[in-house]
Chains A and B, each alone.
Chain A
Amino acid sequence: MTPSLLATSYLGAGVLFILSLKGLSHPETARRGNMFGAIGMLLAVLAVAVQARLVTSPLLIGSVLAAALVGAAVAARVAMTSMPQLVAILHSFVGAAAVLVGISNQLEPAAILTGAEKTIHDLETSLGVFIGALTFTGSVIAWGKLQGVIRSKPLLLPGRHLFNLALILACAGLIWVVMGGGPRALPALLILMGISGLIGIHVVMAIGGADMPVVVSMLNSYSGWAASAAGFMLSNDLLIITGALVGSSGAILSYIMCKAMNRSFVSVILGGFGAEEGAAPALAAGAQGDPIATTAEDVVEALLEAQSVIIVPGYGMAVAQAQHPVREIVDVLRKRGTQVRFAIHPVAGRLPGHMNVLLAEANLPYDIVLEMDEINPDFASTDVVLVIGANDIVNPSALDDPSSPIAGMPVLPAWEAESCIVFKRGRGAGYAGVENPLFLKPNTRMLYGDAKVSAEAIVRLLK
């Protein structure tokens, strides 16, 4: 294959990748977009296989087939509630692959370089390894936290900022050594890998469960930058382009998530949210009292009288797997002519857009699932709001209590509706550890118990 032909295949693949992301602007075009992405990937892999004379290599075919089978099996089996874990572990693979490619390239450089080119190449290699290792360990920890293998509470070591700083300085020093070349370069690269892996572990360990959407998007971004760095190292434009696309995608998602929590990116990454403030949650003045409990019977009565209903799902719905009985509630109500809609907060769940996927899985049409901006004005004119397993995203103190740890975070004003019913497992505070005055509002009723059991009880009574 000529170099020009290879370059044009890269160009084609790059354009197809852009189209595949572009397709996601609407559910109608998204599937076609995904196909574009897959075709682009096939094109790129085939072109490189021809170029590297690997088309008939049993090693390549065998490993690709085996890995593709594993990937397909995982993709077919994974529960939609476990999507955050899957995404996190896939990030770790990209990180690991970037590290492997970087070290392999250091062992066996493709071309002999000299002077400034050599220095830059070494810098690219070490950056790729640095970001890759950080992504790998960070994603594995994120996976563990999401999976529940590791405690989701933030782990806060004393002097952790100084510790991080020291590690980063050490990495910078090691990169310097790698750039110096010679026999010390390889060991330095390996130590760099170890230390940046430690940074990844330490940073993600310090981040609490509620900040997981930001962390996962951030790691998404890093996995892209790692691929980009590998592209620079190998002088491969396709890797650079793809890495940049993925990197900016993750960065924008992180930005959106941070905005939705009214927190700066830096404060999320430095970690510790929900630990210091959460220790002594202060109740807003005048909000004392006990939440009023209700029963499934009363909820059904309220639902049957309502003209319009908004459902606010949160991570609790995913944990309880309540989306299917909720779908049945919606079906019954919609058949009766009640207007039912879902309100999705950008940080509901553990992954950007997680709730949308769960509701889609439960066979709910996407046009009744609305974003916060679209539906917030309608709460005031709604009869019943069902809050299912959500807490901080419907907390009024974000708006009216400047001393609240979540002050200024945009929230869904569930309290503006005629009545608000909160499905809640127990009486504790939310992930951010903040008390929720919504539960004490006069028009709020609490339906305690597992969200799935409660929803199923309501379905039975409705039918």
Chain B
Amino acid sequence: MNVGVSRETYPGERRVAATPDSVKKLVKLGFGVVVETDAGLAAGFDDASYIAAGATVADRAAAWGCEVVAKVRPPDAAEAGRLSPGQTLVSFLYPAFNTELIRTLAQRGVNALGMDQVPRTTRAQKVDALSSMGNLAGYRAVIEAVNVMQRPLRGQSTAAGKIAPCKVLVIGAGVAGLSAIGAARALGAIVRAFDTRPAAREQVTSMGAEFLEVQIAEDGTGTGGYAKEMSPAFIAAEMELFAAQAREVDIIVTTALIPGKRAPVLITAEMVASMKRGSVVVDLAAEQQGNCALTVPGQAVHVNGVTVVGYTDLASRMAQQASTLYATNIVHLLGEMGGADKFELSETNDIVWPMTVVRAGEIVWPKPPREEAQVPATAHPAKARIYSEQHGPPAAPKLSQGSRWGMLVTGLALLGIGISAPPTFLTHFTVFVLACFIGYQVIWSVTPALHTPLMSVTNAISGIIVIGGMFQVGGGGAARILGVAAILLATINIAGGFLVTQRMLRMFHR
């Protein structure tokens, strides 16, 4: 089974879908690799290095004739026309924007997997090309801004005067945004970031940036680690915040994308006009028409002394590294599909299937939404919640079938007790049930760090059984002896429990 690696034909695209290193890994997976002549030249890999890694270098037709064709950009009409039934195409596809292309691919009867459709799960991270590219693009965005800026980012006091540190605003703290924050911080800038998803806050602050907020509480967490569209009131407040920030900051990096839709316009022409001369806006959403009203995709434009950078090839500008990461994503995907020997497009595979846009000529995109099993988090998906910040179990929005039955059974049990039990019992029973509820509330508020003291203090107070023993001592004979024994045991508990708790708690200090 062969993997064909196409040369990219899109103007200015320098990346390639395989590197000599990834070729070695593909060979290990059992694939033969056919690389188109000069496919990796722009990314710094010559044909000889591919051959040395075990690939065959051949012409365009040979590469496009392989069972699997890997490339970076979505194929153009001519390329799509080269495909025939039974072949599998792996590349970025953006099916929401390229309906024509998807239809063509379906007509050709091929399988097509979109590298932009990788599910946002922990397991799929190794294939997640949007993250690996976004990471580089975020870094590059800051570098491009610095390239245009006529001053350094780091503040300094020199004999010739003070250099004020640059202020950078990053909008959207996804993979690209976080990477931009990291790059700007490393160059010494003061960084602020905004994101509609509350989960982004700790990620932003952990990168050393300040997290900006609007005064309206609204959770913008959408599916798959993306943000969703917000309410008009929220957007108004958000725009006000951006307008205020625009007057103050020197660099704005915008990364706000909503999957399958035009990017929201967050920086208006007025905001750009209000920025200091010499400032820069870098629009990472340029390919989806941009977050800035003045963005011209693919170009840097100058407006009133402010540069609006709308390059759509930021990752491609670091073609060597970008290709290496992308090629590794491809290797992982093909490995996930079973390697050369057990190569298949399985509907049960939770990475491969969501990526499949066309299967054997049938369009299988978009997939019906399904329950997301994992908490999506763009940069740190390994995070698993045990219980919420308030230490409470998440409240179920609707009663499940089970809890409805539970309530019914509880109701019947209460009815039964009410009919048969004497009133004295019910007084105690009421006390018991209410105490259980109080206990439930109080214990959830205990910090997990103090769970051991909690156990020892509950040990101590359950020594209250001592009063049971004391009531029995009043009797005679065997009952008295048993009572004394109970008092002895319970008192050891009380004294031991409280004292050891005190001893432990004394150790806790800030």
Contact = CB atoms under 8 A, between A and B. Distances in A.
B449 A105 contact: no
Contacts of A91: 459
B486 A104 contact: yes
Interface stretch (B91-99, B374-382, B396-404): B374-382
Interface string B361-393: 000000000000000010110111111010001
A300 interface: no
Contacts of A259: 386-387
Chain B, interface size category, equals: 35 or more
Interface stretch (B61-69, B112-120, B216-224, B432-440): B432-440
Contact of B491 (A34, A64, A236): A64
A116 B393 CA distance: 39
A297 interface: no
Nearest to B437: A248
Given A21-B457, A31-B506, A371-B449, A236 B489 contact: no
A86 B500 contact: yes
A248 B443 contact: yes
Contacts of B471: 48, 52, 110, 234, 236
B442 interface: yes
Contact of A365 (B457, B490, B500, B509): B509
Contacts of B462: 94, 223-224, 227, 242-243, 246
A130 to B, nearest CB: 15
Nearest to B436: A244
Query: A-side binding surface: helix, strand, loop or mixed?
Result: helix
A353 B509 CA distance: 15
B457 A20 contact: yes
A5 interface: no
Interface string A78-105: 1010010011001101101110110111
B413 interface: no
A231 interface: yes
A69 B492 CA distance: 8
Contacts of A70: 492, 495-496
Nearest to A91: B459
Interface string A333-363: 0000000000010100001111011001101
Interface residues of A, number: 129
Given A25-B446, A117-B422, A357-B507, A94 B465 contact: yes
A24 B433 CA distance: 22
A241 B439 CA distance: 9
A366 B206 contact: no
Interface in A233-256: 234-250, 252-253, 255-256
A49 B385 CA distance: 48
Contacts of A41: 460-461, 463-464, 494, 498
Given A21-B442, A248-B443, A357-B507, A67 B452 contact: no
A220 B455 CA distance: 7
Given A38-B498, A94-B493, A116 B386 contact: no
B346 to A, nearest CB: 15
Q: For A100, A255, A379, which residue has the most chain B Cβ atoms within 10 angstroms?
A: A100
Given A108-B472, A241-B431, 10 more contacts: A21-B457, A33-B457, A34-B501, A100-B469, A101-B465, A240-B435, A357-B507, A360-B508, A381-B207, A413-B382
17 contacts: A17-B464, A45-B466, A49-B470, A52-B473, A75-B495, A101-B486, A104-B479, A105-B479, A223-B462, A245-B458, A247-B436, A351-B455, A356-B449, A361-B504, A376-B382, A380-B379, A413-B382
